Amino acid sequence: MSTPNFETLRIKSEHNFATVILTNPPVNALSKQLISDLNGVCDWIQRQENISVVVFNGEGKHFCAGADLKERISMSNNDVEKIVKYISDTFQKIFEISIPTLAAINGTCLGGGLELALACDFRIMADQGFIGFKETSLGIIPGGGGTQRLPRLIGVSLAKHWIYSAQSFTPEEALDDGVIDWLVDVGDLSITVNDICQLISSNSPLALKAVKRAINEGLDLPLKMGLAVEQEAYKTIINSEDRKKALQAFLKKRSPE
């Protein structure tokens, strides 16, 4: 599969999953160019039919330290408003990627970096670096979805503690609070990510898309409406080749392809 070139991103493809690597040294700050590249890579991912899982990772010692404050300080108030909206829209685009997504957090993950990770389905972190929202210590608030996604993930009180305090939490604290799903030794990060991707991508790509749609679209609805969303998602796979092949494989007692 041919991959596009981006100024602040690199794409690595293997098997049937892709890794999007942030390459904006020294801390992979969210510059205007990086946000633009993330927008572009979302469009590229949605066009791919042979990718079942996407991983977001950072090059170097940091996943993403948040906004590019050096770039931000020279902006007008109107420009700041626009770029914050652009970041929020971009992270929503990541959230809406139709296939499973995983943030592989290596090192520091602060502010907008954490908001990027929260836009993914899962988060796995190496046992080094820190994670948190520093915004209130800078006279601002998380503006890329953090005030909305974190409470939905870990509950209102814990989320308020994370955001109000502006603390940098350890990976162990993040795991205890439910902000991350897995904590691994730094040397095991790539191996564990590969194992998770292999486990997920061994299943039907169409079923993965349908179940992600059912969960995401039904989550904030009343149960009865959520069940209707589930049925609509189920209908999309009834006549699929994936389902037919899986049934044949079951009857023959072998793994489906």
Residue 173 scores a pLDDT above 80? yes
Mean pLDDT calculated for residue range 117-135: 97
Q: Are 12 and 19 contacting, i.e. CB atoms less than 8 angstroms apart? A: yes
Neighbours of 137 (CB within 10 A): 10
- Higher-confidence residue of 177 and 244: namely 177
As its CATH architecture, domain 9-201 has Alpha-Beta Complex (3.90)
CA torsion, ordered 133, 136, 140, 142, to nearest 10 deg: 30
- Higher-confidence residue of 114 and 49: namely 114
Residue 249 scores a pLDDT above 70? no
The answer to whether the pTM exceeds 0.85 is yes
| 15-32 burial: b if 16+ Cβ within 10 Å, else e | ebbbbbbbbbeebbbbbb
Q: Are 176 and 125 contacting, i.e. CB atoms less than 8 angstroms apart? A: no
Domain ranges, ordered by start, for the chain: 9-201, 205-251
Catalytic residue among 14, 49, 71, 115: 115
The predicted pLDDT at position 248 comes to 67
Can you list the alpha helix ranges (DSSP code H) found in 96-222? 112-118, 146-154, 156-165, 171-177, 189-201, 205-218
Pairwise CA distance, residues 34 & 48, whole Å? 21
Q: Which of 97, 141, 136 is nearest to 120 (CA)?
A: 97
Q: Which CATH number fits domain 205-251: 1.10.12.10, 3.30.565.10, 3.40.50.970, 3.90.470.10?
A: 1.10.12.10
Pairwise CA distance, residues 9 & 186, whole Å? 22
Mean pLDDT calculated for residue range 111-135: 97
Q: At 1, is the pLDDT very low, low, confident or very high (cuts 50, 70, 90)?
A: low
Distance from first CA to last CA of the chain, Å, rounded?
20
Q: What is the pLDDT of residues 38-96, one digit of tens each?
A: 999 999 999 998 999 999 999 999 999 999 989 999 999 999 999 999 999 999 999 99
Mean pLDDT calculated for residue range 158-173: 98
Catalytic residue among 14, 81, 96, 135: 135
Mean pLDDT calculated for residue range 121-139: 96
Task: Tell me if residue 115 is catalytic.
Answer: yes
What is the percent of the chain where pLDDT is above 70? 94
CA atoms within 13 A on the CB side of 144: 26
Q: What is the pLDDT of residues 36-49, one digit of tens each?
A: 999 999 999 999 98
Task: Tell me if residue 257 is catalytic.
Answer: no
Pairwise CA distance, residues 210 & 253, whole Å? 25
Residue 124 scores a pLDDT above 80? yes
The predicted pLDDT at position 256 comes to 67
The predicted pLDDT at position 233 comes to 95
The predicted pLDDT at position 239 comes to 84
Residue 243 scores a pLDDT above 90? no
Q: Are 108 and 63 contacting, i.e. CB atoms less than 8 angstroms apart? A: yes
The predicted pLDDT at position 2 comes to 75
